[in-house]
Amino acid sequence: MVVIKGHEIETVIVKTAHNRKALQLKNNIILLLRSIGVNENDIDVPVENVAMKKARASATWYHCGHRMYYSHNMQGKYVDNLHVLFKVIEKESNMVLAEQKTFNDFITEFREEKDVEEKRKEAREFFGVDPESNDIEIITTKYKALAKELHPDMPTGNTEKFKQLNVAHKILRRELT
């Protein structure tokens, strides 16, 4: 089990037919987003040629002038990452359909800029962690240590670096929680 965006997601490990399962998951993501009013032509779910390799799964969709994006890279294989991505979108879409969440809240939950991957890379560099690090506890520990050092009220304080620190932590926290 992993907890993402407040949802408990049961992880699975796909053992056979990886590419077929990845294509099924892609189609299911498209169906979910269509069910809440997103045009199929505005949905992009790239599928890896070899779904059993280690790779990030992502989905991008556009609606009402907003670019929404979600990716997952904490599982061992692309197809397993795509499964978690599907489950998160499924839970959020079902909340919209059940009127437990407004569509505007859904948009806010997933809205991202085009350069989000580059910003995440830069944020990890700022914290001095591995580019593939997904451990929010390690990142938060580094954040707290740097916050003490860079806070403007401290002798070693630096207002600009402190602002960068907070932005970097927010970017990674949004991705990893």
**Residue 75 and residue 121 in one domain:** no
Residue 12 has pLDDT above 90, yes or no: no
pTM to 2 decimal places: 0.74
> Which pLDDT band, with edges at 50, 70 and 90, does 61 fall under?
very high
**Residue 105 and residue 136 in one domain:** no
**pLDDT tens figures, 1-11:** 888 888 888 88
Tokens of 99: 């009127």
**Residue 129 and residue 68 in one domain:** no
**β-pair partners for 33:** none
SS3 label, residue 3: strand
> Which pLDDT band, with edges at 50, 70 and 90, does 86 fall under?
very high
pLDDT number for residue 6: 82
Question: How much of the chain exceeds pLDDT 70, in percent?
Answer: 99
Q: What residues make up the domain containing 163?
A: 116-176
* Number of independent structural domains in the chain: 2
**Residue 7 and residue 53 in one domain:** yes
**Residue 45 and residue 105 in one domain:** yes
**Residue 45 and residue 91 in one domain:** yes
pLDDT number for residue 116: 82
**Residue 162 and residue 130 in one domain:** yes
Tokens of 148: 């003490």
**pLDDT tens figures, 14-25:** 888 899 999 999
* Helices 18-35, 78-97: crossing angle, 10 deg rounding: 20
On average, the pLDDT of the chain sits at 90
**Residue 47 and residue 120 in one domain:** no
pLDDT number for residue 74: 86
**CATH number of the domain to which 129 belongs:** 1.10.287.110
Tokens of 65: 């002038």
pLDDT number for residue 177: 66
**Residue 78 and residue 151 in one domain:** no
Residues 67, 110 contacting (CB under 8 angstroms): no
**pLDDT tens figures, 26-40:** 999 999 999 999 999
**Residue 101 and residue 146 in one domain:** no
